[in-house]
Amino acid sequence: MSSNSQKKGFGATIWDYLTTVDHKKIAILYLISGGFFFLVGGVEAMLIRIQLMKAGNDFLSAGTYNEVLTMHGTTMIFLAAMPILLAFMNAVSPLQIGARDVAFPFLNSLGFWLFFFGGVFLNLSWFLGGAPDAGWTNYASLALASEGHGIDFYSLGLTISGFGTLIAGINFLVTIINMRAPGMTYMRMPLFTWTTFVASALILLAFPPLTVGIFFMVFDRLFGANFFDVTMGGNTIIWEHFFWIFGHPEVYILVLPAFGIFSEIFAIFSRKRLFGYTALVFATILIGFYGFMVWAHHMFTVGLGPTANAVFALATMIIAVPTGIKIFNWLLTIWGGSISFTVPMIYAVAFIPSFVAGGVTGVMQAIAPLDYQLHDSYFIVAHFHYVIVGGVVLAILAGTHLYWPKMFGTMLSEKLGKWTFWFFFIGFHLTFFIQHFLGLMGMPRRVYTFGADQGWDLFNAISSVGALFMAIGVIILLVNVVMTVAKNERVGNDPWGDGRTLEWAIPSPPPFYNFAQTPLVRGLDPYWIEKMEGNKEGMVYAEPLGDIHMPNGSFIPFVISLGMFIASFGAMYFMDDKAWALPVLIGGLAITFGSMLVRSLKDDLGFHVTKEELIADNERIQREARALEGGKKGGLK
Amino acid sequence: MDLNKRYTPQTWPDHPETATLEGKNKFVGFWLLLAAETVTFASLFATYLALKDKGPSGMEFSAAGLFELPLVFAMTMILLTSSLTSVYAIYHMKNHNFKAMQAWLGITVLLGLAFLGLEIYEFNHYVHLGFGYTNSAFSSAFYTLVGTHGAHVVFGLSWFIALMIRNAKRGLNMYNAPKFYLAALYWHFIDVVWVFIFTVVYLMGVIG
Amino acid sequence: MAHDTHDIHRSRAEFEFIKKKRAAEMRGQLTSFAMMIFLTLIAFTLVAADFSTYLIVPIILLLAAIQVVLQLYHFMHMSNKGHGMMAFFMFSGMFVAFMTIIAMVTIVWW
């Protein structure tokens, strides 16, 4: 209900966000916390580059370097990239399919708070005796030997946030399966929704192995189990398998939504229907499918045997085919289009060569004998940064510009956006391109320093300068955000002017019920169709105006997550013979399960927005739109 | 959705579990969760198979020497039967016969408790033999696989009991019918996992 | 929207028909249950009778698979209308499960 009121006190706003089940507000929460962790991970990256700036540097000690490196990877993957993508999924994909909300608003909120508390827990390790230091892959043979509680922060934190991600995945799957507007068939879904769908399916099937693996790690380290302890009959390779059975699909969980964002951008700013929509959809599904059959290419040097290596090498090369299909479809979408080089479009165009470079080095590593040479060298570091930064981070930056008006109702500055782009783009290639050669010259990854006689000085120095460029780009982006928020120039439904899908047919930001009337979808790019047919309203409706049922907000998700957060401390200090550990563990779990029970015993049927309220709200929206139009005309004079 | 709306068997829909959008969402979401659970248990089975009979040198325990079939047979029969009784409960749910449904759920819960009791007895027995959780990689993998199944049984039973108590006065309506249906579905899934446990862990364990 | 379900009013005859249909379905469930018990008995008997391992293992795995199909398709109604998407995800899950298990029993120790 709360979203109706316009002006609220600070405390009321905070409470509103703590209890919200509205997917648009949860998207904002994801964006803010994901953005925060992105900055944390960025600072860690800068520390790494400062340390490697020159030979024999002693800026960080070897131990601290391991911690920084581990936390950089873990934070960027689990706490920055995924949540920010989940922010866009939350903000946009329910709107794209014409839904009033997601399938499980309560669980949506629970998913966010679990992620949030997991991330906070993981980062508290810095202040409570040291961060994890076994790399983001946390290989068991290293992790079991690690002293202190760093690894426990890793495994417990990721367990909590992993549950959150799994919940988010199920939520999107059900939303897309069940809640599409009339006429929105699967083959009319916008590509971002399709990639959300496939990425969620990957989350659904890839997170359980990670959870199981991490559970083993927790039990081995804290409760005396022997899954990975070789002297007790265990096997450390089991961890590697579970990690990569999860880890490889994880790459696609990240990159598919990125592909989705770019697909939207190419179509919007080329003012053309996506070329080869069907092929793009099937390529997306195929990538998701193959994603589960290639994990052992991360383990070629483990010694799985020639048969296993050959099978996985072949499967890995095959996966380049659907990716290639996508690249060509995007190029052909641009070709002959009426292109406008807005900030999102610049990112999209820059993405193609960057990502292709990362893909090509990926195929190189698929050749198992060559991988024996490249393994654990800076070539690998360069490769996955080309894929993750060149693909995912560019998409995140592009998506931030593209969807900012839809999420906040105001546009980021194009001018500053271009500055960000150039700094970031140049810095990115400066940092990582040269690392290919460092790898070929023999520099191993994850070393805290190198000698002056090894001939790696210059290239490392160049790489560090590139990182500085990226940092400047991100700082400009922050300035841009602050200035945009301060100026707060409101925009209308379709600020880019060429929106094609349903989210651009409703106000920015949309009312909390999204669509006063459920739209009727008459084809691919429904809003574009209506625009072309001169429909002033931008939508045809599938139902008459009537009461809308909406869910109540709830504080319970926060409490459930808090309980798990508390329980994790109990579990972690259990082995230290701390008297308070067991009560804290039990108490935390009691909070979690107690609040779950409260949730299930209470009748919570939500509330109705009446027809009269909708009409009144619609009048307000119309009034604001007219004021905006008037303002624009005034500005032009 | 009106909670106070009273249904009779004649006005009760054919598929009450999917008659509302909430019900449909829960239904699909729950099946997806089961797909994820399939992978979870597969991971546990895979680990168990990799670590079966593996331990420190000189470990005295092996699957062939440890497991006893009569107990497992009894547990299997009990759990299979409870799967059938929950089918009866849902049968009566669809006929809008609340009392009969509660009765069959009650039987299901009793059978589940019996299963759980036997499992606790079994674990206790092994621990007394010296086959503790930290004994070896084999013991860790065994207890984690079978114990996770046991935890699912506990959760399923709690779910049934909570639903029965909560709705004892309320009777069947569109709000809780999907919940009863899904709890039964969960119970069947637990049975599916058990089929593999008795086959892969116990039967294949005994023959070595 | 779909929150308000359509009111159904069945005539006496319709109701009796549906009830009979459900009762017939329930008899089918009983048959599947009997089969499950039977399959379980065979599996346990095979092991108790101490046949060759190479004979028993594939047979009891097959019996388990049949039982699971019975559970999924009869008790859990996976064959019913509107279960297409669910079946797809269950089979995807089984595919990942299969890959995981194959990996662990074959290549872990090499």
Q: Collect all residues of chain B within an 8 Å Cβ-Cβ radius of residue C29.
A: 84, 87, 91
Question: Is there a domain that residue A524 lies in?
Answer: yes
C86 in contact with chain A, both atoms CB, cutoff 8 A: no
B42 touches chain C (CB under 8 A): yes
A449 residue type, one letter: T
Beta carbons of B83 and C71 less than 8 angstroms apart: yes
Element (H, E) at B94: helix B69-94
Asked if residue B165 lies in contact with residue A600, where contact means CB atoms within 8 angstroms, the answer is no
pLDDT, tens digit, 9 for 90 and up, residues A107-152: 999 999 999 999 999 999 999 988 999 999 999 999 999 988 999 9
Q: What is the pLDDT of residue B19?
A: 86
Interface touch B192/C97, C-beta < 8 Å: no
- Nearest Cβ partner of A178 from B24, B40, B55? B24
Give, for A426, the enclosing helix (H) or strand (E). Answer: helix A414-440
Tens-digit pLDDT profile for residues B30-42: 999 999 999 999 9
Co-location of A504 and A586 in the same domain:
no
Please tell me the distance in Å from A245's CA to the nearest CA on chain B.
10
In angstroms, the CA C36 to CA A489 distance is 68
Q: Which of A167, A174, A216 to mutate to test the interface with B (most CBs of B within 10 A)?
A: A174
Residues A165 and A124 in one domain: yes
Query: Which domain-ending residue is among A529, A552, A575?
Result: A552
- Return the number of other C-beta atoms located less than 10 Å from residue A337's C-beta: 16
B62: Cβ contacts below 8 Å, ≥ 6 apart:
B53, B138, B208
Closest chain A C-alpha to C93 CA, distance in angstroms: 6
The minimal CB distance from C110 to the residues A206, A303, A548 is found for: A303
Query: Which of B41, B91, B174 is closest, CB to CB, to C26?
Result: B91
Q: How many CA atoms lie within 13 A of A81 on its CB side?
A: 26
Measured distance CA(A434)–CA(A384) in Å, rounded: 14
CA A450 to chain centre: 34
For chain C, say whether B188 makes contact (Cβ under 8 Å). yes
**Cβ neighbours for B97, distance < 8 A, ≥ 6 positions apart:** B9
Phi, psi of B176 (to 5 degrees): -105, -15
Phi, psi of A541 (to 5 degrees): -110, 150
Tokens for A239? 């961890």
Which residues of chain B are within 8 Å of residue A246 when distances are taken between CB atoms?
Answer: none
The alpha-carbon radius of gyration of chain A (Å, integer) is 25
Task: Name the closest residue on chain A to residue C84, using Cα atoms.
Answer: A177
Whether residues A473 and A560 share a domain: the answer is no
Q: What is the mean pLDDT of residues B9-35?
A: 90
Q: What is the pLDDT of residues A229-250, one digit of tens each?
A: 999 999 999 999 999 999 999 9
Q: State how far residue C81 is from chain B, nearest Cα, in angstroms.
A: 11
C-alpha–C-alpha distance, residues A550 and A542, integer Å: 19
The Cα B177–Cα B12 span in angstroms is 11
Closest by CA position to A551, among listed A514, A597, A592: A514
3-state helix, strand, coil in chain C (%, to 5): 75, 0, 25
H/E run at residue A608 = strand A607-609
Q: d(Cα A166, Cα A205) in Å, to the nearest integer?
A: 9
- Residues of chain C with pLDDT > 90: what percent? 45
CB nearest A238 (choices: C96, C99, C108): C108
Distance CA A355, CA A362 (A): 10
| DSSP conformation letters of A231-297 | GGT--HHHHHHHHHHHHHHHHHHHHHHHHHHHHHHHHHHHTSPPTTHHHHHHHHHHHHHHTTS-GGG
| Dist. CA B178–CA B61, nearest whole Å | 45
Instruction: Look at residue A636 and tell me whether its pLDDT is greater than 60.
Output: no
The one-letter amino acid at C32 = S
Q: Which residue has the tokens 């604001």?
A: A624
d(CA A262, CA A269): 10
- Helix (H) / strand (E) element for A523: namely none
User: Mean of the pLDDT values across residues A540-546?
Assistant: 91
Q: CA A227: distance to chain centroid?
A: 31
For residues A82-110, average pLDDT: 95
DSSP secondary structure letter of residue A498? -
ipTM score of the complex?
0.94
Q: Stretch A291-313: mean pLDDT, rounded? A: 91
Question: Burial, A383: exposed, middle or buried (Cβ in 10 Å; 0-12, 13-18, 19+)?
Answer: buried
In a mutational test of the A interface, the residue from B24, B37, B39 whose CB has the highest number of chain A CBs within 10 Å is B39
Q: Which residues of C touch A296 (CB under 8 A)?
A: 103, 107
Contact B39 A209 (CB under 8 A): yes
Type and span of the H or E element at A607: strand A607-609
Q: CB-based contacts of C55: which residues, under 8 Å, 6+ apart? A: none
Best of C1, C4, C5, C94 to disrupt the B interface (most B CBs within 10 Å) is: C5
- pLDDT above 80 for B5: no
Interface of A with C in 196-235 (CB under 8 A): 201, 204-206, 209, 235
> Do residue B87 and residue C108 have CB atoms under 8 angstroms apart?
no
* Average of per-residue pLDDT across B168-179: 89
3-state secondary structure A190-204: CHHHHHHHHHHHHHH
Q: Phi-psi category of A541—alpha, beta or left, where left has phi over 0 and alpha has psi -120 to 50?
A: beta
Helices (H) and strands (E) in chain A, counts: 22, 2
A601 contacts B162? CB cut-off 8 A:
yes
Give contacts of C47 with chain B, Cβ < 8 Å. Answer: 69, 203, 206-207
Size of chain B, expressed as the number of residues it contains? 208
pLDDT, tens digit, 9 for 90 and up, residues A366-385: 999 999 999 999 999 999 99
Both A577 and A493 in one domain: the answer is no
Does a structural domain hold residue A144?
A: yes
Tokens of B167: 């709705």
Shared domain check, A444 and A368? yes
| Cα–Cα distance for residue pair A301/A139, rounded to 1 Å | 14
- Beta-carbon contacts of A578 under 8 Å, excluding residues fewer than 6 positions away, are none
Q: Give the tens place of pLDDT for each residue, A582-632.
A: 999 999 999 999 999 999 888 888 889 999 999 999 898 888 888 887 765
**Closest chain A residue to B155, measured at CA:** A593
DSSP state of B203: I
* DSSP bridge pairs for A519: A541
Chain B residues whose CB is inside 8 A of the A205 CB are 35-36, 39
For residue B45, list chain A residues with Cβ-Cβ distance below 8 A: none
Residue A112 contacts residue A89 (beta carbons within 8 Å): no
Q: Tell me the Cα Rg of chain B.
A: 20
Which chain B residue's Cα is nearest to A229? B137
The shortest CB-CB distance from B45 to any of C15, C48, C101 is to C101
Q: Is A403 helix (H, G, I), strand (E, B) or coil?
A: helix
From A100's Cα to the closest Cα of chain C, the distance in A is: 10
Record: contact C100-A177, CB cut-off 8 A: no
CB A24 within 8 A of CB A512: yes
Flag whether pLDDT at A637 surpasses 50.
no
Whether residue A85 lies inside any domain: the answer is: yes
On whether both A115 and A169 belong to a single domain, the answer is yes
**Arithmetic mean of pLDDT, B182-190:** 95
Task: Work out how many domains chain A is built from and give that number.
Answer: 2
**Domain identity same for A274 and A169:** yes
Q: Are residues A2 and A117 in the same domain?
A: no
A435 and A334 together in one domain: yes
CA distances to A606, B18, B177, C7 from B3, rounded to whole Å, are: 12, 16, 12, 14
Question: Hey, which chains touch A, using 3+ CB pairs under 8 Å?
Answer: B, C
Cβ–Cβ contact B73 with C under 8 A: yes
Assigned token pair, A617: 């709200």
Asked if pLDDT for residue A634 goes beyond 50, the answer is: no
Closest residue by Cα to residue A372 from A311, A442, A301: A301
CA distance C105 to chain A (A): 11
Arithmetic mean of pLDDT, A262-278: 96
Q: How far apart are CA A204 and CA A282, in angstroms?
A: 19
Look at residue A563 in the predicted model and tell me its pLDDT. 96
| pLDDT confidence band for A4 (50 / 70 / 90) | very low
pLDDT digits over A394-447, tens only?
Answer: 999 999 999 999 999 999 999 999 999 999 999 999 999 999 999 999 999 999
The C-alpha atoms of residue A614 and residue A100 are separated, in whole angstroms, by 13
B31-54+62-206, CATH topology level: Four Helix Bundle (Hemerythrin (Met), subunit A) (1.20.120)
Give the C-alpha separation, A350 to A360, whole Å. Answer: 16
Query: If DSSP codes are grouped into helix, strand and coil, which group holds residue A548?
Result: strand
Percent of all residues in chain A with a pLDDT value above 90, rounded to a whole number: 87
CA distances from A301 to A232, A240, A247, B129 (A): 24, 12, 17, 41
Which residues neighbour A203 within 8 Å (Cβ) at sequence distance 6 or greater?
Answer: A165, A166, A168, A169, A253
- Residue A177 belongs to domain with CATH number: 1.20.210.10
Same domain, A566 and A444: no
Query: Which residues in chain B are contacts of A242 at CB distance < 8 A?
Result: 43
d(CA A66, CA A60): 9
> Would you place residue A635 in the very low, low, confident or very high pLDDT band (cuts 50, 70, 90)?
very low
Q: In the structure encoding, which two tokens stand for residue A370, read together?
A: 């060559």
- A118: number of Cβ within 10 Å: 26
pLDDT recorded at residue B1: 57
Mutate to test the interface with C, among B199, B200, B202 (most CBs of C within 10 A): B199
CA C62 distance to own-chain centroid: 13
Hey, is the C-beta of B94 within 8 angstroms of any chain C C-beta?
Answer: yes
Q: Distance between CA B96 and CA B5 in Å, rounded?
A: 14
In a domain, A632, yes or no: no
CB contact under 8 A, C93 and B38: yes
Determine the pLDDT at residue A6. Answer: 53
B98-150: per-residue pLDDT in tens? 999 999 999 999 999 999 999 999 999 999 999 999 999 999 999 999 999 99
Q: Cis omega before residue A509 (within 30°)?
A: yes
Pairs of residues, one from chain A and one from chain C, whose beta carbons lie less than 8 Å apart: 45
Mean pLDDT score, A279-287: 96
C-chain residue closest to A290, CA distance = C96
Structural contact between residues B126 and B135, judged by C-beta atoms closer than 8 angstroms? no
Would you mind telling me the total number of residues written for chain C in this entry? Answer: 110
Domain coverage including residue A42? 21-552
User: Which chains neighbour C (Cβ–Cβ under 8 Å, 3 or more pairs)?
Assistant: A, B
The DSSP 8-state label assigned to residue C6 in this structure reads P
Which pLDDT score, from 0 to 100, does residue A2 have?
40
Tell if the CB–CB gap between A245 and C100 is shorter than 8 Å.
yes
Same domain, A233 and A198: yes
Q: What is the mean pLDDT of residues A537-562?
A: 92
